[in-house]
Structure 1
């Protein structure tokens, strides 16, 4: 339980100290936060370090293809009403980054941890979480992660027998199937805008029926569970039927859905919905996402979209035409090197916007926009886009490493 932890073993203390030293050296050399390399060194010195660091904390794990960084931030903000929180707020979500984050939270009561989908089962085994939030599963990094049903199966096997309270999205059949192996599930109607990864039943392979917002398999009877929490417009409905207003500085329906799941998590730890939702208002941007920055005398809003589900949500956020839009796509290791997912994105939603294209894979994106009958300009860099863009705020949408490149260029 929190508060009566055993002190770390001498080996664990050495591992933590060495990891922090390596991280500091990495930062001093200008190579980023150093959290991943620091965590790797610490785990080499003590392979059980993650479990040791987690033993005195109430651990909350958050995993999904989309929304996990933002939801982690919202839950952390809500739980600070109940005690000190440690979190991997910058999104280093594999074991090394998670270990680094926990090593910095010696006085914390709660650990709110974003976990990469592939690592969820292993991290859950090591950290003995009190609560696990599962938001969605959709295609992403096609060269690295297996297709979504295999990931769901990995989750399902990893969660079987877990004592954690699982907060799961009732609207995503893959998440429901994965979570159904758990003994204690709280279902949230958080919605699912992107449905193309859940047209066949994850249980039997039959065709899913989707009347309205409901879904079920006509062959094996696998169906949407009854949610006890729900997103309804600008409100969260709690299990008692009370409606609590959502006031966020973060834009879009997807973030309201993230807030609904976050409120359900906070309630597990005794934080009432009103308090949790009020605290979430403090979150303005998440690791640079949604930030409006000044660059070359223009306002640029930076939006991250890593896969078809993310692009679909992001298109619903942008200001209406004729707002200029800059699109940037890379295909480096952290993005996934396969760009075939571009063909799953409905770029006709950008009709009427002046479009500018940059990034390592700008020509792949140009071909896709050409097929979607969009008019666009291919540019060499951000500066050229901004010079050529018509007046007004500019929306900038980029995938993972392209987003980091843009943040460096604008000094964010």
Structure 2
């Protein structure tokens, strides 16, 4: 960067100011945070604004189909040990939302940015990131995201020859194949519960062999790389073989995996694992998910699950039967309008739980539960489901817009 202490041109400053004004007006009108519309206006006025805002920052990009919002929060928390951080913590993860987030971080040293999978290559080109964390690739929004293999191809092309340090999950063959075009990769054994998107080799199409936790293609020799970081139970193993305890307020194996990847990212910037992991304890809930709220004299725990991989991880962390479970599924624009993914979820894992079904697509879900031989009741809304649920804390699992609806209803 040049010696100029303010890297923004007059045009860029105008774009930032206009974007903030539009965002403020949107908030005042009760239409959400305004970050996306503000970012759109700013980018219209200065199409190079994202690159300009990023040039004085150490940028870290986080992309995946599951866990990116939480991991972004964990990395941001860890890096605050090394300096001020700006982040799109509310999950506005396309270029307009990212531009808005960076425009608000004038004194920051680091930018920890969640990026929608489809935009990763373009945002990486604009922001020249120091590090990119890739967690997983699984089926999601079938109506508009191409199949996972094509997304992996897009990542692979976008990362080819990249100067960034890529921190990638060694247990996901699609992520490994995408990251392998990059010259500087740190491999993390973060695990992978959902395997149904990687039975064929992304490199040659051959059948993937999966002995134990290992994987390899019997035909072309593409195989799991040796990780330098690993999740091992409740510890992160660093490249020197030291085990560091994970202390999280967030539940479940998936969040331990997110913490392992986050520790590996923090280490790139000189933050030791012990410091990074201690700081991650601060994170209690992420944009409402994992929050326990009081509603109609009951405790409800709000859990977000957007695709089959997410539902599988969520089932593993709910309280045992007979804890009541409310399931809510919508299929609006932000969710993807195709609900055929419901057939990829193993709902037999809910056996023994009283199940209540709500949401725009409750009948699609009811058919799926019927086929899975589950006992359930279809309800008109959250209030009715809570009223008839048996005693005890209630687990509420919802996909994206259904989750936002729930948060509004319970005042969270």
Q: Check conservation: 1:5, 1:55, Cα contact below 8 A.
A: no
Tell me the SS of whatever aligns to 1:244. strand
**Stretches of 4+ moved more than 2 A in 1?**
1-7
Q: Deviation string for 1:178-235 (max 9, x for gaps)? A: 0000010000000000000000000000000000000000000000000000000000
Residue 332 of structure 2 corresponds to 332
**Shift in alpha-carbon separation, 1:205–1:3, aligned structure 2, 3 A:** farther
Q: Check conservation: 1:93, 1:115, Cα contact below 8 A.
A: yes
Q: Check conservation: 1:20, 1:38, Cα contact below 8 A.
A: yes
RMSD value, Cα:
0.9
Q: Displacement of 1:7 after TM fit?
A: 2.7
What's the TM-score, normalizing by structure 2? Answer: 0.99
Q: Deviation string for 1:374-399 (max 9, x for gaps)? A: 00000000000000000110000000
Q: Check conservation: 1:2, 1:109, Cα contact below 8 A.
A: no
Residue 7 of structure 2 corresponds to 7
Q: Deviation string for 1:34-80 (max 9, x for gaps)? A: 00000000000000000000000000000000000000000000000
Tell me the SS of whatever aligns to 2:303. strand
How many Å separate the matches in 1 of 2:54 and 2:161?
A: 19
How many Å separate the matches in 1 of 2:5 and 2:156?
A: 30
Q: Displacement of 1:5 after TM fit?
A: 5.0
How many Å separate the matches in 2 of 1:177 and 1:8?
A: 38
How many pairs align? 412
Tell me the SS of whatever aligns to 1:395. strand
Tell me the SS of whatever aligns to 2:367. helix
Tell me the SS of whatever aligns to 1:230. strand
Q: Check conservation: 1:2, 1:56, Cα contact below 8 A.
A: no
Q: Check conservation: 2:7, 2:56, Cα contact below 8 A.
A: no
Q: Check conservation: 1:4, 1:56, Cα contact below 8 A.
A: no
Q: Deviation string for 1:75-106 (max 9, x for gaps)? A: 00000000000000000000000000000000
**Shift in alpha-carbon separation, 1:171–1:2, aligned structure 2, 3 A:** farther
Q: Check conservation: 1:5, 1:56, Cα contact below 8 A.
A: no
Mind listing any 5+ residue stretches in structure 2 that lack a counterpart? none
Q: Check conservation: 2:7, 2:52, Cα contact below 8 A.
A: no
Q: Check conservation: 1:169, 1:176, Cα contact below 8 A.
A: yes
How many Å separate the matches in 1 of 2:128 and 2:164?
A: 8
Q: Check conservation: 1:348, 1:373, Cα contact below 8 A.
A: yes
Tell me the SS of whatever aligns to 1:357. strand
Q: Displacement of 1:161 after TM fit?
A: 1.6
What's the TM-score, normalizing by structure 1? Answer: 0.99
How many Å separate the matches in 1 of 2:190 and 2:3?
A: 34
How many Å separate the matches in 1 of 2:380 and 2:17?
A: 44
**Shift in alpha-carbon separation, 1:208–1:122, aligned structure 2, 3 A:** same
Q: Displacement of 1:260 after TM fit?
A: 0.1
Q: Check conservation: 1:63, 1:115, Cα contact below 8 A.
A: yes
Tell me the SS of whatever aligns to 1:337. coil
Residue 382 of structure 1 corresponds to 382
Tell me the SS of whatever aligns to 2:129. coil
How many Å separate the matches in 2 of 1:6 and 1:377?
A: 60
Mind listing any 5+ residue stretches in structure 1 that lack a counterpart? none
How many Å separate the matches in 2 of 1:5 and 1:262?
A: 31
Q: Deviation string for 1:134-163 (max 9, x for gaps)? A: 000000000110000000000000001210
Q: Deviation string for 1:294-344 (max 9, x for gaps)? A: 000000000000000000000001000000000000000000000000000
Q: Check conservation: 1:2, 1:57, Cα contact below 8 A.
A: no
